[in-house]
Each structure stands twice: as C-alpha cells, then as structure tokens.
Amino acid sequence: MNYQTFQPHPDLSAFVKFYWTLEVPYDPKNQKQKLIPDGCIEVTFNFKDKIKRYVSENDYLLHPNAMIMGQRTKSYFIEPTGDVDSFAICFYPYGFANFACIPLERLVDIETPLGHVFGEEPANELERAITHAPSTQKRIEIMEAFLLERLNANTTIENVVKTTVDMLLATNGGGKINQLFQEDRSKRRKLERDFRKQIGISPKQLGKVLRLQTALHMLLNKDESLTSIAYENEYYDQAHFIKDFKEFTGTTPGDFIGNEYMALSTLFYK
C-alpha cells in the first residue's frame, strides 16, 4: 500500500484537514478491510477498479467513482475488485458544511455521489478534471479552485457549533458538552439540531469518535498498557474503554493489532 498525505492551501486550512492518495495493486490474496469512524467527512475519487462496501456478511454495494463519504457512526468493511488508485479530501468536522447546501445528517453512514450535493453539471466537470489531471499536485489545485469558488460567507458554520467542535478537538473528545450551557436545556437542544445539520452527527457521537481516535494512536504508536490508555483518555476504566473500542471497531484492542482485516485502518492511524 502506498498512502500519502498533502497539506491544503492556507486559505482552506481552516476547513480542509489534508488531502490523501492511496495506491494498492491488486492481489487475489488481499483481504477485505475494516474502516473505522474518524469524525471527518471526505470527498473521494477512484480512478481504477470499483470498491465494494459490505452491508452484510456477503452483500455489498459498489462505491461511486466520485463521492462524499459522510460521517460514520460505525465501522464497515470495504474490498477492492482490482487495482486501487484514489485521491481524497479530508475535511475537519465543521469544514464541509461551508461548501454544501444540504443538512449533513443526510450523508451519515452512506456514500453520496457528488452530483447530489454539488449539482450534476458542476460535479461532472469536477470529476472529469480530477480524473484527467496529470499529477496529484494538479488535482489539489483543481479541487482547491472548486472549493474556493463555492466558499460563501452566508453559509459559514454557526459559531457555537464551531466552538463546540474546537473544544472537542482540543480535548480529544473529552470535553463536557453539558458544561457549555449548564442547565439551559433549550440551548442544548438547539446545539444538537444545528450540530446534526452542519456536522452530521451529535456532539456526543463526535466526542466518542475523537476519543477513540486518540486511543487508537496511542495503541499503535506507544508502548503503554490498556489501563494507561484508558485513563489517559478519560475512560472510566479499562472495561469501559474495551467496550467502546469494540463498539466502533468490532474487535478488542488486543485483537486489533496485527489483524489482517485492519491493515488499512492501521496504516491510516499510524
């Protein structure tokens, strides 16, 4: 697997986390791979063979070649049907709302063709330009021109939503949402509604994903016990950490490392 990341232009760095490319030559021995929620929305382009997303043990859907991967609330399996050659844009949790005109809760846990969000003609033009670009750098330039043209101050995400996301990012998902509004339930309910519309999932769901991300990084990159990882990430105890970990990944922390089905997720998190 050849996985690379690239930084965005400064004018887009508040919205775009990074760009990435992935190349994987076909091998009949390749296993299907499980992907884990990361709290981000991505726009992806596939230039080679189709990719399957499993909806059950044996049933699957084929990814569109150009699509928006909405927020994920659960892990899922994918499997390439041949060679993989992909280019993608990873947005911060509040980033994509600045370029879309639909509630982002409609995109949760599904792959949506670009035309459903950007309009068929602009989406088709973008896909053609990206597909025929001679290099990754040129693809980034094309994508950034498209995003800068769509950026509209009138659709900028509400400050309270951005503030909440920033707090969750700064605390690796450990921030207490209830502390923002203390006992004002009406403001909490409004935040929940705005969050689902502009982020796609609830503040609590995003916090759980971000906390798991941090724990995954520690599991893969630091030689620490599960108990230490649990407490450093503010889980009540090791059992609580393992329960949340299994809820998102479908496996325990001990079984995650070295699992052939997790090779792609391990690559992303390292």
Report whether pLDDT(152) > 70: no
Report if residue 246 sits inside a domain.
Answer: no
Report if residue 87 sits inside a domain.
Answer: yes
Q: Whole domain around residue 144: which residue ranges?
A: 2-155
For residues 121 and 127, give the distance between their C-alpha atoms in angstroms, rounded to a whole number.
10
Share of the chain above pLDDT 90, in %: 42
Q: What is the CATH number for 144?
A: 2.60.120.10
What pLDDT does 265 receive? 73
For residues 96 and 239, give the distance between their C-alpha atoms in angstroms, rounded to a whole number.
35
For 9-24, the pLDDT digits (tens) are: 998 998 999 999 999 9
Output the pTM of the full model: 0.82
For 69-82, the pLDDT digits (tens) are: 999 988 899 999 99
Residue predicted with more confidence, 86 or 161: 86
Report if residue 55 sits inside a domain.
Answer: yes
Report if residue 132 sits inside a domain.
Answer: yes
Q: With CA atoms as reference, report the closest residue to 267 among 84, 10, 14, 54.
A: 84
Report if residue 90 sits inside a domain.
Answer: yes
For residues 92 and 205, give the distance between their C-alpha atoms in angstroms, rounded to a whole number.
15
Q: Quickly state the pLDDT bin for 153 (edges 50, 70, 90).
A: very low
Give me the residue label for tokens 């989406």.
123
**Residue 5's CB: how many other CB atoms inside 10 A?**
12
Report if residue 25 sits inside a domain.
Answer: yes
What pLDDT does 8 receive? 95
Q: Quickly state the pLDDT bin for 220 (edges 50, 70, 90).
A: confident
Mean pLDDT, range 261-267, rounded to an integer: 73
Report if residue 9 sits inside a domain.
Answer: yes
The number of domains in the chain is: 1
